[in-house]
Amino acid sequence: MLVHSRTGKWTLWVLFLLLFLPLFALPLLVILAASFAGHWSGVLPSDFTTAHYTAATSGESLQALITSLVTAVTASLLALAVGTWGALGAHALPRPLRRVLDALFVLPVAVPSVVVGLAVLVAFSQPPVLLNGTRWIVILAHTVLVTAFAYQSVSAAVLRLDPAYEQAAASLGARPAYVLWRVRLPLLLPSLTAAAGLCFALSMGELSATMMLYPPDWVPLPVQIYAATDRGSLFTGSALAVVLMAATLLVLFAVARIRTRASYR
Amino acid sequence: MTRRLTWALPPALLLAAAFLYPLALVVRQSFRPDTGGTSLQPYTDVLGSVAFREALWTTVWLALAATACCLVLGFFLALVIAFVPFPGAKAVARFVDVFLSFPSFLITLALLFLYGTVGMANGLWTEVTGAASGPFRFLTTPWGILLAEVTYFTPFVMRPLLAAFSQLDTAQVEVAASLGARPGQIVGRVILPEALPALAAGGGLVLVLCLNEFGIVLFTGAKGVTTLPMLVYSKAILESEYPGACVVAVVNVLVSVGLYGLYRVVSRRAGA
């Protein structure tokens, strides 16, 4: 406890709430309120309705939600596979080479997502690989963007892994592939699921690279939200945003449950 | 050794093909004007334009200002959560984690309802004073973007700080207090030095993310405020001017990677 006096504590707490509530809690509440509002031209919204949700969960918007979910799941799984392989491979290398691999895998975080989008667009609109206009160009860009995060969290976990387990398994005659499959990957499972959740959330909300790439028949939810607000339908946009947040949270919650079960094994 | 290398190669090659090769093509395209041939023409065109210089300046000062605000605000909020805990402080820390998993543009969307021309703040003003319109018009100016960025990125500073504070031995704080140190002295002499690596890490990350931020700027719909990522988008998608877009992209990458590299060096020095 840093402050002991009663008035001192209360001053700090009031100051905390005065900063925290309007800055962080209010925006999310406002989006929630707006998604039910029929009108909002005064202090508070009025004419509450669920019509925006009907619009947000049917037709184009439903399609956009499915598009986002498919993109996020595919990109996360791909990123997890590449990131885990990269992290395990890098761990076995001598230090200078590991540094190089670390830098390569972390670089996409530092490069603006818009530039990743532009680069993927430029590269795959020309031979040898033509992906422009297909859903795969969006999935590829998302995979590149989230692989960095998968790699980082898995490689942090690999470093913490106790080598005694694999050494014991190997000394009992287990082949490297068996050690990997039955010892190392199960031990890594909690951090793998955490990485999967992070990748999924990032991909669900990805807008920058997607805006550069999306074909007309593969419109993810963030782009749909932008399209709605850009034409002035702020309430529909809010309802879509709530759907996006709810979908993300649901999946994160499910992943966290798998994670606790995984860590009890 | 060669076996280990062969094992590490496939993922590295995949990433190189999906990321480095496209990036190299962007650099190549930036030297190829639409008129044909290879020249520095796109660079002289773009670097000489007023729009580019304004965008560069706006991007850099917004990122620096947002990072500074996030550091101060994040330090204060994390300090209260960790050392002057109140009932529900744990829930607030959990809320911060949840906040991080949402996309940035939601904040701008919310600010439109709060401070937009027909938003809550202006509605309150017109109802109380009876004026025809409210005074809050900063949303389409750089200040609106600054507010959104500070809101969205402060949790990125708070999380590493809260992690660092939870490992700080509270005995140090108690001892300092029992020796008569004032709260201000404890924060400055005991807590701040411990928090420096986490502050450096969080601050560096926020700086890079702010330099690269696109969603927040796009959603404000401010015509007068352009940042580098926004310029890349408008040149490539709205104007189909690819060599120019590639030039801006190269500059943006150089600025971001340069600052990110600096941040890795600094945070390693600080022991993070």
pLDDT at A164 (0 to 100): 85
Confidence band for B65, pLDDT divided at 50, 70 and 90: very high
Residue among A107, A241, A249 whose CB faces B106 most closely: A241
* A89/B9 CB distance under 8 A: yes
- Reported as a single tens digit per residue, the pLDDT across B187-201 is 888 888 888 888 888
* Tokens (6 digits) for A106: 């972390």
Residue A44 placed within a domain: no
Residue A45 placed within a domain: no
Pair A181, A77 in one domain: yes
DSSP state of B18: I
Pair A103, A33 in one domain: no
Round to whole Å and give the CA distance between B239 and A165: 58
Closest residue by Cα to residue A27 from B112, B222, B156, B98: B112
Round to whole Å and give the CA distance between A96 and A187: 26
Residue B237 placed within a domain: no
Residue A204 placed within a domain: yes
Pair A181, A227 in one domain: yes
Pair A94, A3 in one domain: no
Q: Please report where in the chains the tokens 């979910």 appear, as a residue.
A: A69
Residue B266 placed within a domain: no
Mean pLDDT for the stretch of residues A125-151: 86
Whether B263 shows a pLDDT value over 80: the answer reads no
Residue B249 placed within a domain: no
Domain hosting A29: range is 1-37
A262 close contact with B: CB closer than 8 A: no
Residue B20 placed within a domain: no
- Reported as a single tens digit per residue, the pLDDT across A201-253 is 999 989 989 998 889 888 999 999 999 888 888 888 889 999 999 999 999 88
* B80/A234 CB distance under 8 A: no
Domain hosting B167: range is 65-225
DSSP state of A39: B
Q: Can you give the CATH number for the domain in which A250 is found? A: 1.10.3720.10
Residue A24 placed within a domain: yes
Mean pLDDT for the stretch of residues B120-144: 78
Round to whole Å and give the CA distance between B25 and B40: 16
Residue B174 placed within a domain: yes
* B11/A85 CB distance under 8 A: yes
Residue A47 placed within a domain: no
Pair A13, A77 in one domain: no
Pair A117, A17 in one domain: no
Which is more confident, B174 or A245? A245
Pair A91, A177 in one domain: yes
Q: Can you give the CATH number for the domain in which B133 is found? A: 1.10.3720.10
Q: Which residues of A touch B113 (CB under 8 A)?
A: 30-31, 33-34, 40, 234, 238
Contact between A229 and A217 under an 8 Å Cβ cutoff? The reply is no
Pair A247, A220 in one domain: yes
Round to whole Å and give the CA distance between A105 and A73: 20
Contacting A residues, span 193-212, partner chain B, CB-CB under 8 Å: 198, 201, 204-208, 211-212
Pair A88, A180 in one domain: yes
Closest residue by Cα to residue B19 from A142, A116, A129: A116
Closest residue by Cα to residue A208 from B42, B234, B29: B234
Residue A213 placed within a domain: yes
Residue A163 placed within a domain: yes
Least confident range of A37-51, A58-72, B225-239: A37-51
Residue B247 placed within a domain: no
Pair A88, A115 in one domain: yes
pLDDT at B257 (0 to 100): 82
**Burial status of residue A216 (CB atoms within 10 A of its CB: 0-12, 13-18, 19 or more):** exposed
A46 φ, ψ to 5°? -140, 180
Round to whole Å and give the CA distance between A150 and B9: 17
Q: Please report where in the chains the tokens 């189909």 appear, as a residue.
A: B240
Residue B182 placed within a domain: yes
- Reported as a single tens digit per residue, the pLDDT across A159-199 is 888 888 888 888 898 888 888 888 888 888 888 888 888 89
pLDDT at B120 (0 to 100): 78
Residue A43 placed within a domain: no
* Tokens (6 digits) for B269: 């020095």
Pair A98, A131 in one domain: yes
Q: How many domains does chain A have?
A: 2
Residue B108 placed within a domain: yes
Q: How many domains does chain B have?
A: 1
Confidence band for A70, pLDDT divided at 50, 70 and 90: very high
Pair A135, A212 in one domain: yes
Query: Could you give the ipTM of this predicted complex?
Result: 0.86
